[in-house]
Chain A
Amino acid sequence: MVDPLSSVLDGTDPLSMFAATADPVALAAATDSSRRKRDRDDNSVVGSDFEPWANKRGEILARYTTTEKLSINLFMGSEKGKAGTATLAMSEKVRTRLEELDDFEEGSQKELLNLTQQDYVNRIEELNQSLKDAWASDQKVKALKIVIQCSKLLSDTSVIQFYPSKFVLITDILDTFGKLVYERIFSMCVDNRSVLPDHFSPENANDTAKETCLNWFFKIASIRELIPRFYVEASILKCNKFLSKTGISECLPRLTCMIRGIGDPLVSVYARAYLCRVGMEVAPHLKETLNKNFFDFLLTFKQIHGDTVQNQLVVQGVELPSYLPLYPPAMDWIFQCISYHAPEALLTEMMERCKKLGNNALLLNSVMSAFRAEFIATRSMDFIGMIKECDESGFPKHLLFRSLGLNLALADPPESDRLQILNEAWKVITKLKNSQDYINCAEVWVEYTCKHFTKREVNTVLADVIKHMTPDRAFEDSYPQLQLIIKKVIAYFHDFSVLFSVEKFLPFLDMFQKESVRVEVCKCIMDAFIKHQQEPTKDPVILNALLHVCKTMHDSVNALTLEDEKRMLSYLINGFIKMVSFGRDFEQQLSFYVESRSMFCNLEPVLVQLIHSVNRLAMETRKLMKGNHSRKTAAFVRACVAYCFITIPSLAGIFTRLNLYLHSGQVALANQCLSQADAFFKAAISLIPEVPKMINIDGKMRPSESFLLEFLCNFFSTLLIVPDHPEHGVLFLVRELLNVIQDYTWEDNSDEKIRIYTCVLHLLSAMSQETYLYHIDKVDSNDSLYGGDSKFLAENNKLCETVMAQILEHLKALAKDEALKRQSSLGLSFFNSILAHGDLRNNKLNQLSVNLWHLAQRHGCADTRTMVKTLEYIKKQSKQPDMTHLTELALRLPLQTRT
C-alpha cells in the first residue's frame, strides 16, 4: 500500500526534490570571486554617503547587553502540528509517522536553557557555521531548516533588553543564507561560454535556474509561522531578479504589508528595519516601500503604550524608560533609509506626521538621529519646543537633547537663534540629576558652544560641568566624556592665550585626578599647542599654564615608564621649550631654561634640548654683538657656558655627553671663552676611557668603535684651531688625547686605533702649515701664536714620528697569514696619507712610501685596479709645477704583475 502522504515524507517533498536536482557547490565556488566583485558594484548604487549597516552592528551589540539567562529553542524536525489546530484533519497514522520522523538526524529538538549572553552569541555563531557547512555539503534542506529555526528566535521577546543584539546576530545568518542562495542560482546561469552580465535581465537566466528559484519561493511560502516566513523570504529577495523584472518591486510592498501581522511592536519594527536594509541593498530606488514602512510604523505606534506591551513589561520587570531605548536602532535605520537623498518636502511631511502622535519622544529622537543635520539645525527651535512638550515618563529627555546636540555639532542653526538654542538646551541639561545623563548630554553640547560662542559662554559651560561633576567625585566615572570636552575646546580655541584666559579651564583640568588620564589630557593639550602655535611666545599666562601641564607629564615618568612614552613626552615638552621666546630679553630666557632644567630633570632628551637652546642663546648674543662682547654680554655668555658645563654630566648617554662637550666647547670658543672651552675639551678627553665597547642603539647592542672614530675625527678638526694654553706645554690637548687613545682598550683584531692615528697625522700635518685652513673670528690659533716657530715645528715633528712609529709597528704585527689582507690595505691607506699630507722631497719619507707601496703588494692581496689608479694619479700630479719630484717617485713604484 502506498500512502501518498508518507511518500512525501520519504523524501519526495519539493524541498528534497529540488535539493536532489541541485548541482554541487563547486560551481558556485568557481565563480565566487567574480560574484563578490559584482556584489560590490551592485551595492555602489547606494552612494558612499549612506552609512552602511555594518557601522551600526558593533554599536548595537555593545549597547544592548544583558546579564540574564537566555535560551535557544531549536526544533529541527518537521513541523509537527502545533497546539492541536493543525492536526484537525490529520489521520492518527500520519501523525504517528510524523512523530517517528522527528527523530531523524537533524530532526531532534534542542532546547538550550540558562545560556549567558556570551554562550548565546557563540551558539548563534555555531549555527552560522553549521549553515555554511550544511550548504557546502549539499544539505540544502538542513540549511533551510537552520535558517527557519534561527529566524523563529526573533519572535521570542523574553529577555527583551537583548533583543536588538539578537536581531543583529540572527540577521547575520540570514544575510549569509541570502548570499548563498543567490550565488548558487547565479552560478546555474553560467554556462561554459559566458558569465551573466552584472545587470542581467530575467531572460538571461536559464530554465533550471528559474525553476530552482521558484522552488525556493514555494518552499518558503509554505513556512507555517509568520515571522520565519517573512525573514527567510526577505533574505532571498534579491533572487526575484531571476524570475521577473518587476519581481522585487512587487515583493517589497507585499512583505511590507505582511509585517502588519506581527503583533509585538518591537518585533515588528525590527522586521521593518530588516526589510529596509535588504531593500536598500537590492533596490535602493524603490523608495515607496521605505515610506510605506514608515507610515505603517506610525499607524501601529500606539501599540507601544498598549496593554499587551505593558503586561509584558510588568512580567519581565522592565521599566518604560529602559524599554523605549530598545527602539532607536531599528527606527534610526528606517528613518535613515528614507531620509537618504529624500526631498525636503518628504522630510517635512514625516515630521508633521510624527508631531501629530502623542508622546512622540521616540519618534523625535529617531528623526534627529537619522535626518540630515542641516534639516534639523534649521528647525532647532521647533525641535526644542517639541522636546519640551514630551512626556517626562517615557523616553528620557536627555537623550533627545543629546541627539539635537549631535546635529548642531554638524550643521549650523540660523544665526539669530543660536544663543536662544543654547540657553534653552542648557536650561534643561543643567537640571539633570543623574551625573551620567548630564555628562553624556553636556559633552555633546560643548562642541556647539565652542563653535558659535566666545570664551565667556564656554567658561560658563565648563563651570557648570565642574559644578555637576565634583559632588561625590562623579568625574571619576566620566573621564572619557570629560576628555572629549577638553578635546573639543582645544579644537576650537587655537589661540592659547585666549584658551588659558578661560577661567575655568585649569580648574576643569583638576578634575582629571587619575594620573594616566591626566597625562593623556596634558598630551592632547601639548599636541594642539605644537600644532597650532605659530609664533614663539612669552605670554606669562601661557607659560605658567603650559609649564604646569608639562610638569604634570614629566612627573608621571617613573621607573616603569616605557621608552616610547618617554620619547613622546620629551617630544611634546621640547616642542613647548622651542616655542618660548623672550625676544631680546636674553637673561630671562636663560632663567627660563634654568627653571625648565629643574623641572624636567628626568627626561634626558629635554635636557639635551635645553643645552642646545642655551648654546643657541649664546650664539644669538654673539650675533647681536657682532662678535664684540661687552663686559655684560661676556658675563652672560659665560653664564650660558657654565649652564651647559654643569648640565652635561647629568646625562646618561656617553656619546650624547661627548658630542655636547665638543659642541659646547665650540660655542665657548666662538664666544672667546678660551679657558671654558679648554675645560669642555678636557672633560671630553677624560670621558673617552669610559666609552664602553658595546653600546645600546634602539635596543640592540652595537660595537661603539665606529662612533668613537667619528667623534674623534670631528674632535681633531676642532683641535686644529684651539690655541695652546700659555701655562701648559705645546699641543697640550693633542698629547693628552693621544695618551688616552694609546691607553684605551681597543678591540683585538681591529685597526681602528691605526685609522685614528692616521687622522692624527692629518691633524699634525695641518698644524704645521704657516696659515691654518680655517679660523674662528677673534680667536688666535696656534699659527698666529707661534708664527711658524721652529721649536713648535720640532715638537710637531716629534709627535709625528711617535705616531708613525706606532703605525709601522702595528703594520709589522700584521705580517701573519690571516692578517695579510688588512696589512695590505692599511699600508696602502698610510701610503695615501703620506702622499696627500707629507712632503715627499724628504728622502726618509720618500723611502718609507716606496716601502709601503711594496708592502701593500707583497702578498698579492692588493687590488690591482686601485694600485693602477693610484699610480696614474701620482703621474698626473707630477706634471704640476712644484711636484716634479713625484716623477722620480713614480718610477720607483713598480706595479705587480699577476702571475
Chain B
Amino acid sequence: MGTALDIKIKRANKVYHAGEVLSGVVVISSKDSVQHQGVSLTMEGTVNLQLSAKSVGVFEAFYNSVKPIQIINSTIEMVKPGKFPSGKTEIPFEFPLHAKGNKVLYETYHGVFVNIQPQKGKFTPSPVDFTITPETLQNVKERALLPKFLLRGHLNSTNCVITQPLTGELVVESSEAAIRSVELQLVRVETCGCAEGYARDATEIQNIQIADGDVCRGLSVPIYMVFPRLFTCPTLETTNFKVEFEVNIVVLLHPDHLITENFPLKLCRI
C-alpha cells in the first residue's frame, strides 16, 4: 500500500533568517505498518549559477553551467531502522540555520541567474519628478510624426523597500492622440561576470496596467505596484554577479505609438 511522506514547516510564510531555528514535523501516513531502514533529514542550501541561453549558445548553456555552490548542509538522523505503525506518524525536527564556513546566507529568489543577498540594507527615500513630451524622448526616428503630448508625474522614491509598493502619480496634462493604455513594467537586470567577460540579461518580471483607455486630462492617476515576492530580491552587487531592477512607464497612444520612460530602482529590505 502507498505510504505518503510530507514535511511540514511550522512557520506559515516559510521565511527564515540566518541564526534562527527551522522547525517542523515529518508526517508519515500509511494504511499498513511500514518497515524502514531509518529516516534522516538533510537540509541543503545552494547557489546555482547558470549561463543564460541568450548570452551563450544553447549547447554551451548545458555544458558550461557553473557548479552549484553549497552554502548550507546539515543532516540529522530522525528515526533508527524499525517499523512505523499504520496510520499517521508525526516526527518533529529542528535545524539551526548556520552558514557553512565563512559563507553568507543569501535570500532566496528565482531568477534567470539564481541570486541571493545580504540581510540588511539602508533606506533613504529618493523622489523623482518627470515630464514626458515628444522632445524628451530618445530613439525617435521622426519626431515630427509624433502627436503632441505632455505627461507629468513623480515617483515617491526610486529607493524602495521590497515589502512596500512602488508609488507615485502620473498626470496626462494634454495629449493630441487618445491614450490606449499606461503600464508599469518591472524589469530585472542580471549581470554575471567571469574571467571571459560578463553576461547581462534583462527580464520583464511584472507588467501592471495603471490606466486603461483615454483617461481624463489633468487628473492624476496613481502609480502603484506591489513587488512580486518570488521574482524580486533586494538589489545586489557582488564581485561575481549583479541583480538590479528598473521600472518602465509605458504609454500607448492611438493609433500605435509606444512611449517608454525608464527608471532604475534600488530595492532593499529593512
Interface residues of A (CB under 8 A from B): 1-2, 4-5, 7-8, 13-14, 85-91, 93, 155, 207-208, 210-211, 214, 217-218, 221-222, 224-227, 229, 254, 257-258, 260-264, 267, 296, 299-300, 302-303, 306-308
B130 at the interface (CB under 8 A from A): no
Per-position 1/0 for B226-244, Cβ under 8 A of A: 1011100000000000000
The residues of A that contact B212 with a CB separation of less than 8 Å are 155, 225-227, 261-264
Determine if B221 and A261 form an interchain contact, defined as CB atoms under 8 angstroms apart.
Answer: yes
Cα(A152)–Cα(B83), bound, Å: 55
Chain A residues with Cβ below 8 Å from B12 are: 207-208, 210-211
Q: Report the Cα distance A261→B53, complex, angstroms.
A: 38
With a 10 A CB-CB cut-off, give which of B12, B48, B112, B211 has the most chain A CB atoms: B12
The CB with the most chain A CB atoms within 10 A, among B114, B178, B179, B207, is that of B207
**For the complex of A and B, 4 pairs with smallest distance between CB atoms:** A263-B213, A261-B211, A221-B226, A207-B12
Contact: A4 with B214, CB < 8 Å? no
Q: A89-B202, A208-B12 are in contact. Are A218 and B210 (CB under 8 A)?
A: no
- Is residue B220 within 8 Å, beta carbon to beta carbon, of the partner chain? yes
Q: Are A260 and B110 in contact (CB under 8 A)?
A: no
Q: In the complex where A1-B61, A211-B12 touch, is A262 in contact with B111 (Cβ < 8 A)?
A: no
Which chain B residue shows the least CB distance to A94?
B203
Q: Of A4, A90, A267, A299, which one neighbours B216 at CB under 8 angstroms?
A: A299
CB distance from B108 to the nearest CB of A (A): 11
- A786 to B209 Cα, complex, angstroms: 115
With A89-B187, A222-B228, A299-B216 as known contacts, state yes or no: A263 contacts B179, CB within 8 Å. Answer: yes
Consensus secondary structure, chain A interface: helix
Q: Which A residues are in CB contact (< 8 Å) with B54?
A: 91
Question: For the complex, is B50 an interface residue (Cβ under 8 Å from A)?
Answer: yes
B182 part of interface (Cβ distance < 8 Å): yes
Bound complex: CA A257 to CA B207 (Å): 19
* Contact in complex: B224, A254 (CB < 8 Å): yes
A221 to B208, CA, bound (A): 8
- Taking CB atoms, residues of chain B closer than 8 Å to A258 are 210, 222, 224
A91 to B50, CA, bound (A): 15
25 of the cross-chain contacts (CB-CB < 8 Å) are A1-B65, A2-B50, A13-B230, A85-B185, A85-B207, A86-B185, A86-B204, A86-B207, A88-B185, A88-B187, A88-B204, A89-B204, A90-B203, A90-B204, A207-B13, A218-B226, A218-B229, A221-B165, A261-B210, A261-B222, A263-B214, A264-B214, A303-B216, A306-B214, A308-B214
Interface residue? B128 (CB, 8 A): no
CB distance from B198 to the nearest CB of A (A): 17
Q: What residues of A have a CB within 8 angstroms of the CB of B207 in the complex?
A: 85-86, 224
Give Cα A302–Cα B210 distance, bound, in whole angstroms: 21
Are A218 and B228 in touch, CB under 8 angstroms?
yes
Contact yes or no, B185 A308, CB < 8 A: no
Question: Is the CB–CB distance between A299 and B185 below 8 Å?
Answer: no
- Residues on the B chain within 8 Å of A302, using CB: 216
CB distance from A317 to the nearest CB of B (A): 20
Contact of B209 among A221, A225, A254 (CB under 8 A): A225
Assuming the contacts A89-B187, A262-B212, asked whether A299 and B230 have C-beta atoms less than 8 A apart, the reply is no
A-B contacts besides A86-B204, A221-B226, A263-B212, 6 pairs, CB < 8 Å? A2-B48, A5-B110, A90-B204, A155-B212, A261-B212, A303-B214
User: A261 to B224, alpha carbons, bound, how many Å?
Assistant: 11
Is B107 an interface residue, CB under 8 A from the partner?
no
Which chain A residues border B222 with CB–CB below 8 Å?
254, 257-258, 260-261
CB-defined contacts of A229 to chain B, threshold 8 Å? 208-209
Q: Which residues of B contact A214 (CB under 8 A)?
A: 13
Return chain A residues, CB-CB under 8 Å to B183: 85, 224
Determine whether B116 belongs to the interface, using a CB cutoff of 8 Å to chain A: no
Q: Contact check, B211 vs A263: say whether CB atoms are below 8 A apart.
A: yes
Which residues does chain B contribute within 8 Å of A218, judged by CB atoms?
226, 228-229
B residues less than 8 Å from A260 (CB atoms): 211, 215-216, 219-222
Min CB–CB distance A225 → chain B (angstroms): 5
- C-alpha gap A217/B182 in the complex (Å): 22
What is the chain A residue whose CB lies nearest that of B109? Answer: A4
Contacting residues, chain B, for A5 (C-beta < 8 A): 110, 112, 203
Interface status of B265 (Cβ within 8 A of chain A): no
Q: Give, as a whole number of angstroms, the nearest-CB distance from A868 to chain B.
A: 77
* Docked pose: A257 CA to B177 CA in angstroms: 24
**In the complex, B105 has a CB within 8 A of chain A:** no
Q: Which residue of A lies closest to B8 (CB)?
A: A21
- Most A CB contacts (10 A, CB to CB) among B112, B207, B216, B219 go to B216
